[in-house]
Chains A and B, each alone.
Chain A
Amino acid sequence: MKYLSEFADPVLAQRLLDEISATVTRHWAIMEVCGGQTHSIIRNGIDQLLADEVELIHGPGCPVCVTPVELIDRGLRIAAMPDVIFCSFGDMVRVPGSAGDLFAVRAAGGDVRVVYSPLDAVAVAEENPSKEVVFFAVGFETTAPANAMAVHQAHERGLTNFSVLVSHGGGPPAIEAIVTSPESRVDAFLAAGHVCTVMGTRQYEAIVTEHRVPIIVTGFEPLDVLDGIRRAVRQLEAGRAEVENAYARAVRRDGNEVAKGMLADVFEPTDRQWRGIGPIPASGWRLTSRYRSYDAEIRFGVGDLAVEESGLCRSGDVLQGIIKPSECEAFGTACTPRHPLGATMVSTEGACAAYFQYRRLGDEVVPGG
């Protein structure tokens, strides 16, 4: 694939690493916000190659990981209903709610289907007019336009048997919540490149101005991640705080106007819960009144299903770099990758899951350490 392998070149990676080492003079904590970047860091071992002064704090991970337990439970309840076909991305089917996952619902007779695109779920609705087809609309702003289009198309085609269970979140409020936390140790952020292909870089300008924290819009290939880190270190060392675009081949200042237009038509901001972290104001999206009838929570009356998140989980503290995963009491006991309590253990690349893995080596090699 064009412009993928080029951005994984080991020789150029070494040049970027050398440049980072040559620039850094003191300790800096940089958070990569997106699970895709964490994946790339762990997958390629980038954290082990960086200068000791650079600490990477893994962010909240993927949208799946931060989906609150109660929303998953709502999905499980809907999926178990008769005459429902429940469509989901593959990411979501193994994520545990408070009792079981979508695979367990399927084993108990529920019709759960894995789709590649939300439009596939719309097609399922068209082919099955006697069934209720529900799509689990999970994702940050990268996926939201696809999901918005599915709702829009269902509306255009007059499909009354299609609805979506919305778990959209992200955006500047999530970064702002971390920046404004008094205990946060994060010095700079690598923002999610693909989110910015849609939303643009402009959305971060206010945060940078107000909180004086560098935000580097960063891609996912190894060289992209390294370049994001390089630019963050350079700004920090120079005492600058700017929005910088390290993913210029895909991201423009205003993002994708067409997609943003569709998003504004279908979704509006709302407060939302983040698994293991808690509520963040205006960090989620819900359907606008025009499309409210496609809201599966309303259609199936599951909106009042409430679940207490585990009081043990300290993923919020892990995310802010306040504690290491192993300092959490639940780590490795009440909370494991198979039985995760919070976002950072749900995701394979989450800080806690990564720690859990590395612990098997039995030495001091720890990710981001």
Chain B
Amino acid sequence: MVDGWTCPLPLRDYAKVTIGHGGGGQLTDELIRHLFLPAFGDAAVDATPTDSAVVAMAGHRLAFTTDSYVVRPLFFPGGNIGELAVNGTVNDLAMAGAQPLALSTAFVLEEGLELDVLGRVATAMGEAAVRAGARLVTGDTKVVDAGQADGMYITTAGIGLVPADVDVRPERAAPGDTIILSGPVGLHGTAVLSVREGLEFGTELRSDCAPLNGLVQSMLATDGDIHLLRDLTRGGLAAALCEIAETAGFGIRFDESDVAVPPEVRAACGFLGLDPIHVANEGKLVAILPADDADTVLEAMHAHELGADAVVIGAVTDEHPGVVVARTALGAHRIVDRPLGEQLPRIC
């Protein structure tokens, strides 16, 4: 407890942390801007509220990131918490244009967790790291009382090297730039919801959880001047585009008909009352680049298994700064907002 600490800009709605504060939406954003950054004070002068930071060190640029993983249940169609923890951190590094080098793994385990479960999760982490070409170099293990950690929580941190000729960051997005989406959306969130207690539904869908650094490398290897990369995670395509628009200070428009939504995702979203572009992904990215470079980069993406369905969905514009506008299938327009917090089924 810090003596005399007061929130400089009181969080208006809640006196306590709510689930929504961890949803990656507006509430999370408020927590960062109005609590963490002011509280950290001078220590956070260089901090950017982005998923990974690039720090210059001994003539090199290192990307650095950390993430905690909490998912219920631990295993879901197409993946588990361990795979998620490695791929998520690998992807955050990749979005800075970095090749991941080393990852740390810290476990908070619930008393009573089956060692067999832990073993399967750990194995998946090793395999995911190998697939991404990264090493798991250090870690930590803590155990908490039964009933406290949903089985386990995992925190990973990672460092990666940004090649000298790569400059990928939000500030480079500019009006006229084209936006590419790497594939169909909503798979991860739908797969996890299908096994969420109380919501269970049957589906063949699997999470798209995957390391994107290989795809990014093949994109960076082209002549295309990629301005910005962003993986789609919580809050889905909508949250990613809104965050880009807000950070870059430009508007974004995209065509809904160009965003592929698998029929099963659409069906599940239908009865849960969710918008597919708000649903989480773990293996998709958007790239923002000059329109003239789109074809070259698309060609490279199509040659990679994780970018086979990549398409241009829209563009950056100097109209409506900070706002994302979608062209609907009927040819009208709608404003796209990021979700407030966690995705909840809407029934009535």
Contacts and interface: CB of A to CB of B under 8 A. Distances in A.
Given A1-B267, A113-B198, A116-B347, A357 B335 contact: yes
Given A4-B270, A94-B20, A362-B320, A43 B348 contact: no
A46 interface: yes
B18 A361 contact: no
Nearest to A348: B337
Given A89-B347, A90-B344, A143-B348, 11 more contacts: A1-B263, A10-B330, A10-B331, A44-B330, A49-B331, A100-B14, A103-B19, A120-B198, A140-B348, A338-B13, A362-B320
A108 interface: yes
Contacts of A120: 198
Given A4-B270, A104-B14, A362-B320, A222 B348 contact: no
B328 A44 contact: yes
Contact of B330 (A91, A96, A222): A222
B199 interface: yes
Contact of A361 (B266, B273, B320): B320
B348 A94 contact: no
A357 B338 CA distance: 12
11 contacts: A1-B263, A8-B329, A10-B330, A44-B330, A46-B330, A46-B332, A91-B344, A107-B16, A114-B198, A139-B348, A357-B337
Interface string B304-348: 000000000000000010110100111111110100110011111
Contacts of A100: 13-14
Interface string B13-52: 1111111100000000000000000000000000000000
Interface residues of A, number: 48
A157 interface: no
A48 B334 CA distance: 10
Would you call the interface of chain B mostly helix, strand, loop, or mixed? loop
Nearest to A63: B348
B14 A103 contact: yes
Given A44-B332, A106-B18, A143 B320 contact: no
Interface residues of B, number: 37
Contacts of A45: 328, 330-334
Given A44-B332, A45-B333, A90-B345, A106 B325 contact: no
Contact of A43 (B266, B325, B328, B340): B328
Contacts of A358: 335
A115 interface: yes
Contacts of B325: 361
**In the complex, the 7 A-B pairs of residues with the closest C-beta atoms, listed nearest first:** A45-B332, A90-B344, A107-B16, A139-B348, A89-B347, A103-B18, A48-B332
Contacts of A138: 348
A64 interface: yes
Contact of A13 (B20, B272, B330): B330
A94 B14 contact: no
Interface string A30-74: 000000000000111111110000000000001110000000000
A174 B17 CA distance: 38
B156 to A, nearest CB: 27
A263 to B, nearest CB: 15
A91 B270 contact: no
Nearest to A123: B198
Contacts of B346: 89-91
A262 B40 CA distance: 59
A233 interface: no
A319 interface: no
A18 to B, nearest CB: 13
A94 to B, nearest CB: 7
A161 interface: no
Instruction: Determine which residue in A64, A90, A108, A358 has the highest number of CB atoms from chain B within 10 A of its CB, and name it.
Output: A90
B333 A48 contact: yes
A288 interface: no
Nearest to A93: B344
Contact of A91 (B322, B332, B341, B347): B347
Instruction: Determine which residue in B18, B345, B347 has the highest number of CB atoms from chain A within 10 A of its CB, and name it.
Output: B347
